[in-house]
Amino acid sequence: LTRGREAFVSQHVGDLDTAETLKFYRETIAHLIDIVGVKPDLITSDLHPDYRSSQMAEEFGLPVVRVQHHAAHVAAVAAEAGLAGPALGLALDGHGLGDDGGAWGGELLVVDGAKHRRLGHLAQLPLPGGDRAAREPWRMGAGVLAAIDRPDLVSTFFPDRPLAGPVADRVASGADRLSTTSLGRLFDAAAALLGVRAVQDYEGQAAMELEALVDEPVALAGGFTLNDGVLSFSPLLARFVHARPDARTGASLFHGTLIEGFAALARHGAAATGLTAIALGGGCLMNRVLAEGLSAALTQSNLTPLLARRLPANDGGLSFGQAVLARRAFSEI
């Protein structure tokens, strides 16, 4: 909730998938409006029409501004840092509806006023089963095996997952065409291929367990490619498949190569725009190894990393970025 130049951000309510959570969400909104003492003139929500928060935005009977998920992440960090003018940023998370209707999550964006432009992104990865892949990392692993033409290895990597073979076959045949640029799903794929986690009990479990295994991030030489703003870690994933490193070694290689790859993507954006401050937002920046390593790599490249400090980097701070962009959009009408 904003009041003039002030912004009041509630606690992070989380997924709105139960009646109890929805009730608490409405109570939180009413409480915040009451204690701040303002009546909203404008509502903003995520671009995704299926989110409960997007649907609830219509309940107020006020104008609604829809804001793209990753643009809001970049705007939140940039605004917290007091950055004036266009903002260049990396938005790294699990999922968000993209401008093209796709599943985004590893994005290089420039946010200028209320508008944004996509300058680069992670290479597409198969997303077998759609949302189920976020709960079952083995699906991401099976998709990667199919993508690198090794579906025959599915039974070796996932012997206790009887559906892994059919899933890989559907990806290989083109029957399952769902894909994503999400870094969160890339974490899941790596965790599955390294034997860290096949099924998640809660969101982000595979990524957190992979992070916990890192001794010292080490980049794999030739572990990524960057062409026209598309960043691919296929060489690194192929190394996991063919060399079968232990989980601890693989986790260190994964994080080190991610840091080097995203630093290269940020340099690409800086060269294209002339902007030298890089806002780093999204749930994957809750990963301390990635956040600190990427910040150091950007600093070494004479770029200025901007990290979320007063608000969470994940969706707990997303509403601030949405409010920033919605206010700009409303002022331009």
Q: Is the model's pLDDT at 220 over the cut of 70?
A: yes
Mean pLDDT, the chain, whole residue set: 96
Model confidence pLDDT, tens digit, residues 132-178: 999 999 999 999 999 999 999 999 999 999 999 999 999 999 999 99
Which pLDDT belongs to residue 14?
85
Distance CA 70, CA 53 (A): 16
Using 50, 70 and 90 to split pLDDT, how confident is the model at 331? Answer: confident
> Band of the pLDDT at 267, cuts 50, 70, 90?
very high
Is the confidence at residue 333, as pLDDT, over 80?
no
- Given a cut of 80, is residue 109 above it in pLDDT? yes
Residues 98-126 have a mean pLDDT of 97
Please state, for a pLDDT cut of 90, what percent of the chain lies above it: 96
Amino acid at position 287, single letter: N
Tokens of 193: 């291929």
Question: Percent of the chain, pLDDT > 70?
Answer: 100
Whether residue 246 has pLDDT greater than 90: yes
SS3 content of the chain, % helix, strand, coil (to 5): 50, 20, 35
Q: Would you say residue 66 has pLDDT above 90?
A: yes
216-234 average pLDDT score? 98
pLDDT given for residue 84 in this prediction: 86
- In sequence order, which ranges of the chain are alpha helices (DSSP H)? 19-36, 52-56, 69-80, 132-135, 137-147, 154-157, 164-173, 183-193, 205-212, 234-243, 247-273, 288-300, 318-332
| Single-letter amino acid, residue 299 | T
Exposed / middle / buried, residue 159 (Cβ in 10 Å: 0-12, 13-18, 19+): exposed
Q: What is the pTM of this model?
A: 0.96
With a cut of 70, say whether residue 64 has pLDDT above it: yes
pLDDT exceeds 80 at position 332: no
Tell me if 224 sits within 8 A of 233, measured CB to CB. yes
pLDDT, tens only, 19-49: 999 999 999 999 999 999 999 999 999 999 9
What are the CA-CA distances from residue 148 to residues 60, 189, 243, 312 (Å)? 49, 13, 14, 36
∠ CA 111-115-121, nearest 5°, is: 55
Average the pLDDT over 57-66 and give the result: 94
For the four alpha carbons of 172, 176, 179 and 185, in that order, the dihedral sign comes to negative
